[in-house]
Structures are given as C-alpha cells and as structure tokens.
C-alpha cells in the first residue's frame, strides 16, 4: 500500500512570467504568453498541494526574472543544507542570490556551489542515492561537489536529447526509497544501463508522455501531480497503486517547465525510508515548526 509523506515546498508566483529569451527548445519568443493564465495554473498547482496537506512557502518574484517560477532550479536542499544553484545562462544567474537569501533566512545551512549546476532541475534525491544529470546544464564536476556537500552517494546520468535538458524532464522520483519513472530515450546508452541495473522495477515512460513534459511530475509517495496529457503514465501509475492527479501547466510549459520545475522540496532533516510507513508523518499533521499555508475554501 502506498503512503503519502508530508512535504514542504518552495514556490514562486509567475507574476512576471513571459518568454523574452530562448535557452531551451521549448522556449519561442515569437509565441505569445498569457501571464494571467500562467498565474491561474500556478495557483491551481499550489492549491492542489495544500489540499493534500503539504506546506507551501513562497519566495517573492523579481521583475526581469521570468523563470523564477521554476523554483526547483534554485537550489538542492537535503538534510537542512542548501546547495546553491550556479546557473549556466546569464539570463538566470541573478536568481541564485535571491534563492540563497531566502533559504538562509529560513534557517538552512548554505553550501556555496563552485561548479555550474541548476539545482533540483538536475539533482534528484532518493535515500538510495542522489541522481544527478549532466549533458546540457549541470557540469559533471558538480556531482563530486554535491557528494562532498551531502555525504551521500551520487549517480551521474548523461542526458543526450536537448528537449530533455534537465534531469527532471526525463526522470521523476516516485517514492523516497527506490521507485522512479523515466524516459529511456533521453539518456546515453551507459546511463540507461545504470538505470536498468539500479531500478529494475522502474516505470518506463513512453515518448508521447515525455514530449508533454509529463515526467516532470511531483510525488508525495501516493499522489502524483502530472500533466493532463501524460495519459499513458497516469495509467501506469494507477496500476502501481499511486493516485495520479492531472494539473494543467501548459502555459508554463512555454518556458520549458511543468509541475516539478515549479516545486523545490525543502528537506529539513534526514528521513530514512527504512523507518517504514507506520513511522511516517501523516500529511494531515504538519510539524509545528513549519509555517503552513491554509488551502482556500
């Protein structure tokens, strides 16, 4: 039986969302964007988390930084340590100090990155290992820095399809201990063999779902927030005992992001999957030290 675990997320309203530059294949400056629609979709995503009992914290958006909505790229937060992002493209580099300042003010220990990395866009956490992508945005050297920062094993995965420029566009963590879903076509042959060896029970996503960034989903161990167009993935999730929840983020897709891109998990302390479901905190009982945003009626 699947169990949900309460999560704490950092999100940023897409107040200034637009596509004014092109740094990934999904972005087209000539294609109109609707900021009001992006805000409405983002609010629905936030409210979905709240209805599920999760905590949502907000960072203020800054003018001129339309991609701040993709908070997953802003850092990697594990065991109360925030490993800062060091963005590859100049257009996004001013975001990093803003995320660092917020995380420091919230009490996280800051680990300054020296190597280029784009946070949870390319760095995904499981208890077994941290999965780290490279090939387009994050330098391979950051993987060693990441391992030294958290003292956890890091598995490097090479991305080869520019449409899947971040790891979280091609792979998602479904349970904290070991279950993942991924699209094999996004990875090099060697990385596919690694994934097959480490995760033989993974859910293999089809290209049709991947092409809608359907794998850019968020799981709490039971509920999986995903693109409405990831129909095949939703069927596979349901068959494995998950509860898929479709949330439309199509306007935000114009910037190259989905639900996961908009969601940075804040992990304050080590959590062991070995504890078992009976020791997990119920999603309806937030820890008292967390600031909890109330879901609208």
- The residues annotated as belonging to the active site are 166, 261
Cα Rg of the chain, angstroms: 17
Residue 187 pairs in a beta bridge with: 159
- CA–CA separation, 223 vs 189, rounded Å? 31
Beta-carbon contacts of residue 114 (< 8 Å; ≥ 6 apart): 86, 145
In our burial notation (b when 16+ CB lie closer than 10 A, e otherwise), range 87-108 reads bbeebbeebbebbbebbeebeb
- Nearest to 258, CA basis, from 210, 209, 214, 205: 214
- CA–CA separation, 253 vs 244, rounded Å? 19
- CA–CA separation, 174 vs 15, rounded Å? 30
Q: Is 152 exposed, middle or buried (0-12, 13-18, 19+ CB in 10 A)?
A: middle
- CA–CA separation, 72 vs 261, rounded Å? 5
- CA–CA separation, 297 vs 279, rounded Å? 30
Residue 159 pairs in a beta bridge with: 187
Tokens representing residue 283 in the block: 């999603």
């Amino acid at each position: 039986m699947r169990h949900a675990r309460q999560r704490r997320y950092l999100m940023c309203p897409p107040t200034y969302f637009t596509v004014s530059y092109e740094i990934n294949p999904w972005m087209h400056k000539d294609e109109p964007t609707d900021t009001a629609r992006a805000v409405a979709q983002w609010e629905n995503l936030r409210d979905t988390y709240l209805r599920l009992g999760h905590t949502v914290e907000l960072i203020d958006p800054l003018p001129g930084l339309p991609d701040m909505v993709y908070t997953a790229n802003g850092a990697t937060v594990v065991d109360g340590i925030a490993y800062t992002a060091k963005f590859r493209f100049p257009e996004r580099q001013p975001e990093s100090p803003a995320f660092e300042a917020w995380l420091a003010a919230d009490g996280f220990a800051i680990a300054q990155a020296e190597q280029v990395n784009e946070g949870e866009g390319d760095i995904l956490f499981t208890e077994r290992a941290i999965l780290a992508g490279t090939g387009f945005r994050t330098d391979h050297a950051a993987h060693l820095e990441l391992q030294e920062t958290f003292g956890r094993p890091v598995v490097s995965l090479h991305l080869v399809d520019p449409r899947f420029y971040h790891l979280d566009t091609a792979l998602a963590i479904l349970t904290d201990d070991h279950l993942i879903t991924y699209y094999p076509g996004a990875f090099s042959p060697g990385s596919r063999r690694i994934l097959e060896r480490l995760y033989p029970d993974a859910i293999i996503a089809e290209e049709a779902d991947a092409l809608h960034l359907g794998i850019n989903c968020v799981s709490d161990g039971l509920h999986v927030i995903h693109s409405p167009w990831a129909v095949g993935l939703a069927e596979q999730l349901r068959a494995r005992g998950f509860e898929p929840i479709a949330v439309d983020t199509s306007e935000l897709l114009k910037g190259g992001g989905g639900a996961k891109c908009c969601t940075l998990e804040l992990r304050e302390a080590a959590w062991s999957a070995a504890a078992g479901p009976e020791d997990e905190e119920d999603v309806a009982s937030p820890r008292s030290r967390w600031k909890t945003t109330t879901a609208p009626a």
